[in-house]
Amino acid sequence: MDYTELTASMTAAGAASPTDDRLFWIGNPAIHPIRRRLIDIAREDARVAAKGIHWVKQDRSEAWSSETLMDTAASNYVSLPDHCRYKYLIDLEGIGYSARLKVLLFSNRPVFIQERPWREFFFDWLQPYVHFVPVKRDLSDLSSQLDWAEANPRDIASRAQTLARKHLTRQAAIAYFRQSILSMLS
């Protein structure tokens, strides 16, 4: 599924009400210690559903390519549109930028974003408590931020989705990068 199809699927999935009131994350916990920390938090806080997943190539003899199918070592894969079953989503740092954050913003779910050193071109447009719920890098305030989200049912999710539809489409990204390049040339 390409990016445009994926974001359309996220938008469609996010139109339905969540069936699970928890905050959700799934990913490879081996690539950053904070991911293991979230899994530990989930063991203690029933409001958090965090699962580890380990990706493996189906055929180890194949060279990597974008068409290489990946599988998991367990059967706990959750597609990005299926993330919309949950009331809240969280994006955690890994070893670089987050490929899924742009897609999560299309979900019509409040997205918790952990502070991180890596920033993408659209971060300056995101405003805390307007488009997302901020979380400290060490996750020490995750519980209080969940409390805040429950007590303040603001329209963060729809504002994030509006921002995503305006700035995070393929055409918008091309226009942004085109303008950035032209401004460097002038």
Pairing of strands 48-52, 111-114: unpaired
pLDDT at residue 64 greater than cutoff 90: no
The DSSP 8-state label assigned to residue 123 in this structure reads G
Backbone φ and ψ of 64, nearest 5°: -70, 135
The angle formed by the CA atoms of residues 53, 58 and 59, to the nearest 5 degrees, is 145
Which among 161, 153, 172, 168 has a CA at the least distance from the CA of 15? 161
CB 107 within 8 A of CB 89: yes
pLDDT at residue 76 greater than cutoff 80: no
pLDDT digits (tens, 9 = 90+) for 26-56: 999 999 999 999 999 999 999 999 999 876 6
Domains and CATH numbers, the chain: 3-185 (3.40.50)
The DSSP 8-state label assigned to residue 144 in this structure reads H
Per-state percent for the chain, helix, strand, coil, to nearest 5:
40, 20, 40
pLDDT reported for residue 154: 83
What's the predicted TM-score (pTM) here? Answer: 0.87
For tokens 């995750």, what's the residue? Answer: 142
pLDDT reported for residue 55: 65
pLDDT digits (tens, 9 = 90+) for 107-158: 999 999 999 988 888 999 999 999 999 999 999 999 999 999 999 878 999 9
Backbone φ and ψ of 154, nearest 5°: -75, 175
What amino acid is encoded at 88 in this protein? Y
